[in-house]
Amino acid sequence: MKIRILLISLFVLIIALPASAALINTGVTDPSSTASTFASDSGYAPTEGDATRLPVIIGNVIQLILGFLGVFFMVLIIWSGFQWMSAGGNTDTVGKAKNRITNAVIGLAIVLIAYGITWFITQALIENIIINTPTE
């Protein structure tokens, strides 16, 4: 009887969650407008209807690469956590999983620091060279 109640509850939960998730207004807009916003926040202001400009394309590529890297590091951490939990006391497997988690976190930190340095340099160049360029 308990299994039947558990299965019915699980079925209702599985059916109800997608409906409630569909009703949530996340405020997420069209990806192309998000990419344009990302490019303009990087210091490149795209003109209306001109999405083929080089700064917009560069902003889109950077956003795509960072998204893939985030997914890659998350998969590495989840896979290593699963390997660690299913090691069954094998110290060699636990050591490999811990090492992989450490390397994934270090790799993610390196990517984020590199992005921060790139953003800082880009902002400094835009502000000092493009905006403050003396006119004759």
Tens of pLDDT, residue by residue over 96-132, are: 999 999 999 998 888 888 888 877 777 776 666 666 6
Euclidean distance between CA atoms 133 and 42, whole angstroms: 19
How much is the pLDDT for 85?
92
How much is the pLDDT for 117?
81
Residue 66 in contact with residue 115, Cβ under 8 Å?
yes
Q: Retrieve residue 75's tokens.
A: 């998969």
How much is the pLDDT for 1?
78
Q: On the CB side of 119, how many CA atoms lie within 13 Å of its CA? A: 14
